[in-house]
Amino acid sequence: MRIAVVGTGYVGLVAGTCFAESGNHVTCIDIDEEKVRRLHDGILPIYEPGLEELLRRNVRDSRLTFTTDYAEGIADAEVVFIAVGTPPGEDGSADLKYVLAAARSIGENLTGYAVIVDKSTVPVGTARKVKEAVASTTKHEFDVVSNPEFLKEGAAIDDFLKPDRVVIGSESPRAAKVMNELYAPFVRTGNPIIETDIESAELTKYAANAMLATRISFMNEIANICERVGANVNHVRKGIGTDARIGSRFLFPGCGYGGSCFPKDVQAIVRTSEEYGYEFRILKAVEEVNERQKHTLFEKAEKHFGDLKGKHFALWGLAFKPNTDDMREAPAIVLCNQLLEAGATVTAFDPEAMEEAKHVYIGDKINYADKPMDALDGADALFVVTEWNEFRRPDFESIYESLEHPVIIDGRNIFSRDVVEEMGFTYYAVGC
Ligand code: NAD
């Protein structure tokens, strides 16, 4: 099939590359000229394991191209995906300006019937707005379909090529048939394509992220209680996770969730509910708990050292989670801000996110190390903020020697308390 993908971010680039990998001819369109120019040179705008190799292969085999020119990208496309950003507006609701701008540009350049697919995470009712925007700029026939994306950054290729399920919301049998054909190679092992009405598909994506965010905030509250009553959240986690009704995934406490999806999607569904006269109380609490949890590492440092003015800290991990360079809403940003405001200094190391970190507010206010151990020189304590695998088995003796004070504040519970305490460290974790 001939496919166009509008937006070459985490979702658009992965989707475009994976559709090309399954034999389609894909043109990715982005308005960011620099991004497209670099993609032509084989330089990826994001870090995502496995993507570079797959992308280069499909570019080499002429199944994948990039352009800023809608006319070139949309011409003859049978399916056009909208995968542009939907950042939170001032009131937390999803800002649809990129989606609707893309829809108008698609309409202006249609050359015949096409299925236009909302892949961006968009509130209920957006497909109708997209339909109006496209209709205002074209006379050609088209259908709009909702096909939310469930990939996880850091495992995006695998998630896309082998999805647990594909959700297709459509009111057109013609469009649904095209979508089923397109996704057939991805569900050969029997994972379902779930066909729904458009509204249910749109809401499914928010419900999934809201449920996952709720599990994290719930476990963070359990961890906070564990600290107060002298219980160990790891034991509690195993104790509940082995219950088949609960399951063991997404039960890890930490220093708060971040990223481009959970924070904004929780906010957006709260706002959508308000628009429909409903107060989504659980999700308001989920959001509040998460904001508070991002302060927990700073509070532990303050409790240990008292005044942090003049102190220097090493920080391992900046990205909001491992295997990505994404810094959006990362807990590290909140921690660095708090440390800087308290008059402390920070040297950070992250395997992939240091370039990205330089573009966020704290970017030029902290120092960066080339290697994890280089961040430790003369630091008063080590914070672990992201659970990259390479941090899990460090040389504790070298850490002990490099730090001014043998203090580790572990926001992801990656070390064993017994091991580090036996070596003489003071160890703070979350709920254990
Ligand atoms: P992103 O910010 O990484 O990328 C968006 C891209 O769209 C940018 O390259 C931007 O230049 C481009 N763009 C903006 N307006 C455009 C226009 N009019 N025409 C062409 N290109 C345009 O975004 P992302 O993280 O890939 O997310 C995209 C959508 O997918 C969002 O709605 C997000 O919620 C959703 N989503 C994201 C993830 C994730 O893990 N990142 C997972 C599932 C769903």
- Which atom of ligand 1 approaches the CA of 102 most closely? 18
**What rounded mean pLDDT belongs to the chain?**
97
Which residue's alpha carbon is at the smallest distance from atom 10 of ligand 1? 7
Claim to verify: residue 31 and residue 126 sit in the same structural domain: yes
**Using CA positions, which residue lies closest to atom 27 of ligand 1?**
85
Residue where a domain stops, chosen among 173, 196, 219 = 196
Same domain, 219 and 150: no
Q: For 202-230, what is each residue's pLDDT tens digit?
A: 999 999 999 999 999 999 999 999 999 99
Whether residue 46 contacts residue 6, with contact meaning beta carbons closer than 8 Å, is answered with no
Both 262 and 186 in one domain: the answer is: no
Res. 76: pLDDT tops 90 = yes
pLDDT for position 362: 80
Range of the domain at 174: 2-196
Query: 420 alpha carbon to ligand 1 midpoint, in Å?
Result: 41
Domain co-membership, 133 together with 21: yes
Smallest CA separation from ligand 1 atom 44, residue: 149
Query: Contact 151/176 with Cβ under 8 angstroms?
Result: no
Q: Average pLDDT in the 110-139 region?
A: 98
Atom of ligand 1 nearest to the CA of 101: 18
Pocket test residue of 6, 29, 30, 159 for ligand 1, highest count of atoms within 8 A of CB:
30
CA dihedral 16, 22, 26, 31 (to 10 degrees): 0
Is 363's pLDDT higher than 90?
no
Structural domains in the chain (count): 3
Evaluate whether 170 touches 146 at the Cβ level (below 8 Å): yes
The pLDDT assigned to 45 comes to 94
Residues 9 and 102 in one domain: yes
Q: Which of 196, 213, 228 is a domain's end point?
A: 196
Which of 155, 178, 196 is at the close of a domain? 196
**pLDDT tens figures, 25-59:** 999 999 999 999 999 998 999 999 999 999 999 99
Would the pLDDT of 361 be above 80? no
pLDDT per residue as tens digits for the range 370-423:
999 999 999 999 999 999 999 999 999 999 999 999 999 999 999 999 999 999
pTM over 0.75: yes
Ligand 1 binding pocket (C-beta < 6 A) is 6-12, 29-32, 35, 83-86, 98, 101-102, 120-121, 149, 151, 153, 260-261
Quick check: 260 pLDDT over 90? no
**pLDDT for the residue numbered 419:** 97
In this structure, how many other beta carbons lie within 10 angstroms of the beta carbon of residue 52?
15
What average pLDDT does this structure show over 61-84? 97
